Amino acid sequence: MASARQITGPCQAWPQDSAFIREVLDRIGDKWTVLVVSTLNAGSLRYSDLHASIPGISQRMLTQTLKHLERDGLITRTAYAEVPPRVEYELTDLGRSLRDAVMAMAGWAAAHHSEIAGNRAASDLTGVGRGKAPASAG
């Protein structure tokens, strides 16, 4: 899928691996995946439970996200052939490892989000303030 990239910089050890990151990022990039995984952290849940636990999600997005997660082996889908249909979803070991990884990101976010918010507010106050203007060394 991805073509080999030519990197000009001196330290280009990990950009090649960005293909992997891209895959993961494309998955956790959409907000629903993270929400679904975090909700499934509570254990095995039914479709309606997930739908109720995740406020803004539509059936379309919930179904799609679940299929993607199942396809990647991050969750298991168990359908009970009962009169009132029942389907339960649960995180796999792989899914739990993803959850851990995302939680690490969440840790970083929690640790720095105030600093980022501060920077953003300051940058907003400075308004159009561009970068610093050092001596123009011709």
Site for a second copy in 118-137 (CB under 8 A): 118-120, 122-124, 130-134, 136-137
Distance of closest approach, residue 37 Cβ to DNA, in angstroms: 15
Spatial CA neighbour of 34 closest among 52, 57, 18: 57
Residue type at 3 in one-letter notation? S
The residue written with tokens 């990022």 in the block is 25
How many residues are there in the chain?
A: 138
* Contact with a second copy (CB under 8 A) among 48, 58, 63, 108: 108
Residue 26 in tokens: 């494309």
Q: Between residue 34 and residue 53, which ones bind a second copy under the rule CB under 8 A?
A: 34-35, 38-39, 41-43, 45, 49, 52-53
Binds 133: which of DNA, a second copy, none (CB < 5-8 Å by kind): a second copy
Distance CA 54, CA 39 (A): 8
**DSSP code, position 45:** E
Check binding of 63 to a second copy (CB under 8 A). Answer: no
Binding mask 7-36 for a second copy (x = CB under 8 A): xxxxxx-xx-xx-xxxxxxx-xxxx--xx-
